[in-house]
Amino acid sequence: MTPREWNRAKAELASRDPVIGRLIAALPSNRRLHARDDPFTALARSIVGQQVSVKAAASVWERLLGALPEFSPAAVAAAQGEALRGCGLSRQKAGYLQSLAEHFHLQRLDPLRWRDLDDESVVTELTSVKGIGRWTAQMFLIFHLQRPDVLPLGDVGLQRAMSVHYNRGRKVTETRMRRIAEPWAPWRSVATWYLWRSLDGEG
């Protein structure tokens, strides 16, 4: 999203939802979502980070970068499984990472096509790769492709933030989450980002 689109999203969200309006006002005006990495690297990092702490994921990632001549689909696809596991990856994750690399190397995944696909079509294409589930695909839509209207209902952080800001700390159902988010369209990614930021000071 361009800065102009981001500012439009902020203005429209603030006018429709006072909770999101307060969260927007609480952050410096120059803070916004920025794209991360190239497509292969972004998805590879997501696989590495699954079900481990941020610190552990960063450690494994640094070891991967040090073990390979370059971090590219060709290099990862050609790597020995033992070498990848030696960086701290489980056997399963090493397999997922190599499957992803092969998809890119053999052009079964073509990032240029994604510009012309709607969100669900991109999710369907990405989740055909072992190790990439719906949540990972939605994070890719938000953080790499910067699609403006993604609502990741399965995200624990979004669930927590909606519980805090809209449901007095009680658990929210997916039905309730969808209802809360109705006024946010077509900027649900932006609203989600501000809700995530509201939790930054927790713990």
- Would you state the pLDDT for residue 202? 57
Backbone angles phi, psi at 150, to 5 degrees: -95, 135
Tens digits of residue pLDDT in 132-152: 999 999 999 999 999 999 999
Tens digits of residue pLDDT in 34-72: 887 899 999 999 999 888 888 899 999 999 999 998 999
Q: Which residues of 170-198 are buried (b: 16+ CB within 10 A; e: fewer)?
A: eebeeeebeebbeebeebbbbbbbbbbbb
**Contact yes or no for 136/155 (Cβ under 8 A):** no
Tens digits of residue pLDDT in 160-181: 999 999 999 999 999 999 999 9
Rounded to the nearest integer, the mean pLDDT of the chain is: 93
Domains and CATH numbers, the chain: 3-33+150-198 (1.10.1670.40), 39-143 (1.10.340.30)
- State the Cα angle at 193 between 130 and 195, rounded to 5°: 115
Q: From CA 98, how far away is CA 76, in angstroms rounded? A: 6
Region 76-95 average pLDDT: 93
- Would you state the pLDDT for residue 203? 43
